[in-house]
């Protein structure tokens, strides 16, 4: 009996030491956010993700490809070279028979009306700028997702650490409650209650370990790594209240938001297409030049009657034969100028002008709608940021220290018997709950700031 009593006293002393040490460690962790493990560098992850993320690479290649279009759009159509024959007689297909037969080499070039190519180039330039804005937008979204994944990892690690501490502590609680029950100074329900709470923390550890695997795979996906690649170090979050006012954030968003800038490029593109559509009323020109190669003409032998006077003075008639020959035919040159006639302007050009005008108005309306959405989103996120900053400060300076003091007080009462086991257990669970909530508050705060940065279009810290 005496031996059992001594064991209870020793266990109580160990419990007191463990509880006191546990409270101190948790208060430091939630207050400073420091970790004894290696730190997982967020800036290095951002640099790697923005360089290697496959989605960013795809949009980067598209943006580079679109930069090749303006010079193409500004170039004239390729000239057309033709070779053929003209006026070949049938059925003998004799190239020497008639003067009009020739082999012809021609070159033609379409010449657009002045101003058309510059407008085509402007359309292509705005398309290239829109692709660049899309790349900027995707980079912002990937950066936001990397920061969110980092915050999730921090929260999961914090929950795991808290759950592990409390699981170990509750194992001691179970032993203390069992020892007291064996000597008749405790209740069996204390043992059962401690065992239930211990099992809850075991369940939490299993759950958070699974979530850590998923969060690690998500981070690797964003970084363009194989899903099973381990992360070197543990996430550490630092936070500070936002130093920009809502008006400043709105002004920055209107200047930097890539989606908003993309709509401005779309408006300018539609305006260039509208001006180009009005140019379609004016004919374009087609100039062609041809060179015809003609064969020399041929003719046969001819008979010519002649009179021959003999030496005795008599005259006789005869026929003189002349050999066949070739008539010379000069080569010929042709030049022509043509133009298209916008004869069907009512069903073609008029409709194109109306279409492009409506597209301008559509782009302006969408830009206005997006501006309203951005202003609303900034105010919503700024309000969440303010709430999050106040909650974190309240947890760090008020709730968590007070919960730690409450646990210490319960421990002191438990030592002298003025506080029962369940009250002590309740104080420990309460502190655990607040530790979980402060890590969650920090994680949500970082996510809100990351989303706010994607809306504003620039880093805020």
Quote the crossing angle between the two packed helices 246-256 and 349-394, to the nearest 10°.
Answer: 140
- Of 2-6, 202-206, 428-432, 447-451, the one with minimum mean pLDDT is 2-6
pLDDT computed for residue 298 by the predictor = 62
pLDDT at 16 over 50: no
Structure-block tokens of residue 452: 């706010």
pLDDT computed for residue 132 by the predictor = 96
pLDDT computed for residue 172 by the predictor = 73
Domain containing 29: what range? 2-79+116-282+344-456
| Top-confidence residue, 167 or 37 | 167
pLDDT computed for residue 390 by the predictor = 87
| Top-confidence residue, 49 or 408 | 49
* 223 domain residue, yes or no: yes
- Of 146-150, 224-228, 307-311, 395-399, the one with minimum mean pLDDT is 307-311
pLDDT computed for residue 97 by the predictor = 81
- CA atoms in the 13 A half-sphere facing the CB of 74: 10
Q: What stretches of 53-115 show up as alpha helix (H) in DSSP?
A: 54-66, 69-74
| pLDDT tens digits along 289-336 | 999 998 886 655 555 665 666 666 666 666 555 555 557 888 899 999
Mean pLDDT computed over 100-106: 91
CATH number assigned to the domain comprising residue 40? 1.20.1600.10
pLDDT at 232 over 90: no
- Give CA–CA dist 176/183, Å, rounded: 11
* 336 domain residue, yes or no: no
pLDDT computed for residue 417 by the predictor = 65
What is the radius of gyration, based on Cα positions, of the chain?
45
* 266 domain residue, yes or no: yes
* 204 domain residue, yes or no: yes
Q: What are phi and psi of 322, to 5 degrees?
A: -110, 140
Percent of the chain whose predicted confidence (pLDDT) is above 70: 81
**Do strands 102-111 and 80-86 pair parallel, antiparallel, or not at all (unpaired)?**
antiparallel
pLDDT at 31 over 50: no
- Of 47-51, 134-138, 408-412, the one with minimum mean pLDDT is 408-412
pLDDT computed for residue 34 by the predictor = 40
pLDDT computed for residue 18 by the predictor = 40
pLDDT computed for residue 11 by the predictor = 37
pLDDT computed for residue 144 by the predictor = 95
Is residue 106 within 8 A of residue 292, CB to CB? The reply is: no
pLDDT at 29 over 80: no
| pLDDT tens digits along 156-206 | 999 898 888 878 777 776 776 677 667 666 666 667 777 777 788 888 889
* 327 domain residue, yes or no: no
pLDDT computed for residue 437 by the predictor = 87
Percent of the chain whose predicted confidence (pLDDT) is above 90: 47
* 191 domain residue, yes or no: yes
pTM above 0.95, yes or no: no
- Grade residue 219 by pLDDT with cuts at 50, 70 and 90: very high
Rounded to 10 degrees, what is the CA torsion of 422, 423, 426, 432? -120
* 372 domain residue, yes or no: yes
| pLDDT tens digits along 329-372 | 888 999 999 998 888 888 889 999 999 999 999 999 999 999 99
E strand or H helix that includes residue 333: strand 332-339
pLDDT computed for residue 305 by the predictor = 66
Structurally, the chain folds into a number of domains equal to 1
* Polymer length of the chain: 461
| pLDDT tens digits along 38-94 | 899 999 999 999 999 999 999 999 999 999 999 999 999 999 999 999 888 888 888
- CA atoms in the 13 A half-sphere facing the CB of 368: 6
pLDDT at 37 over 90: no
The vertex-28 CA angle with 23 and 33, nearest 5°, equals: 135
Q: Over the chain, what is the mean pLDDT?
A: 83
* 26 domain residue, yes or no: yes
Mean pLDDT computed over 430-438: 85
- Give CA–CA dist 168/201, Å, rounded: 9
pLDDT at 424 over 60: yes
pLDDT at 260 over 90: yes
- Give CA–CA dist 456/458, Å, rounded: 6
Structure-block tokens of residue 453: 């940065």
């Amino acid at each position: 009996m005496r031996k059992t009593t001594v064991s209870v006293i020793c266990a109580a002393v160990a419990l007191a030491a463990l509880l006191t040490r546990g409270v101190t460690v948790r208060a430091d962790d939630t207050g400073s956010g420091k970790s004894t493990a290696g730190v997982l560098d967020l800036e290095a992850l951002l640099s790697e993700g923005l360089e290697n993320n496959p989605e960013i690479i795809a949009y980067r290649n598209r943006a580079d490809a679109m930069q090749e279009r303006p010079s193409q759009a500004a170039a004239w159509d390729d000239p057309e070279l033709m070779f053929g024959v003209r006026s070949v007689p049938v059925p003998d297909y004799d190239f020497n028979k008639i003067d009009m037969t020739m082999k012809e080499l021609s070159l033609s070039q379409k010449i657009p009306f002045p101003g058309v190519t510059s407008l085509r180039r402007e359309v292509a330039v705005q398309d290239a700028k829109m692709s660049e804005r899309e790349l900027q937008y995707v980079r912002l979204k990937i950066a936001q997702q990397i920061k969110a994944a980092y915050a999730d990892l921090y929260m999961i690690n914090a929950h795991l650490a808290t759950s592990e501490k409390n699981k170990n502590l509750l194992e001691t609680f179970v032993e203390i409650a069992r020892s007291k029950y064996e000597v008749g100074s405790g209740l069996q329900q204390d043992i059962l209650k401690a065992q239930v709470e211990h099992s809850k923390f075991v369940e939490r550890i299993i759950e958070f370990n699974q979530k850590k695997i998923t969060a690690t795979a998500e981070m690797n996906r964003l970084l363009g790594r194989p899903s099973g690649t381990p992360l070197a170090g543990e996430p550490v979050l630092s936070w500070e209240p936002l130093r920009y006012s809502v008006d400043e954030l709105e002004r920055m968003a209107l200047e930097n938001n890539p989606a908003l800038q993309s709509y401005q490029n779309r408006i300018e593109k539609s305006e260039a297409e509208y001006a180009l559509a009005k140019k379609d009323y004016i004919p374009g020109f087609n100039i062609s030049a041809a060179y015809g190669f003609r064969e020399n003409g041929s003719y046969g032998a001819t008979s010519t009657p002649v009179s021959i006077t003999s030496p005795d003075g008599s005259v006789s008639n005869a026929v003189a034969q002349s050999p066949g020959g070739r008539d010379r035919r000069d080569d010929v040159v042709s030049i022509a100028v043509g133009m298209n006639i916008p004869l069907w302007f009512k069903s073609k050009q008029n409709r194109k002008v109306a279409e492009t005008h409506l597209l301008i108005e559509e782009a302006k309306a969408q830009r206005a709608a997006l501006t309203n959405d951005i202003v609303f989103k900034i105010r919503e996120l700024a309000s969440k940021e303010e709430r999050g900053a106040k909650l974190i400060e309240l947890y760090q300076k008020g709730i968590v220290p007070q919960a730690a003091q409450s646990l210490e007080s319960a421990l002191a009462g438990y030592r002298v018997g003025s506080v029962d086991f369940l009250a002590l257990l309740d104080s420990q669970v309460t502190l655990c709950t607040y530790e979980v909530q402060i890590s969650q508050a920090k994680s949500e705060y970082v996510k809100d700031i990351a989303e706010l940065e994607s809306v504003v279009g620039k880093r805020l810290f």
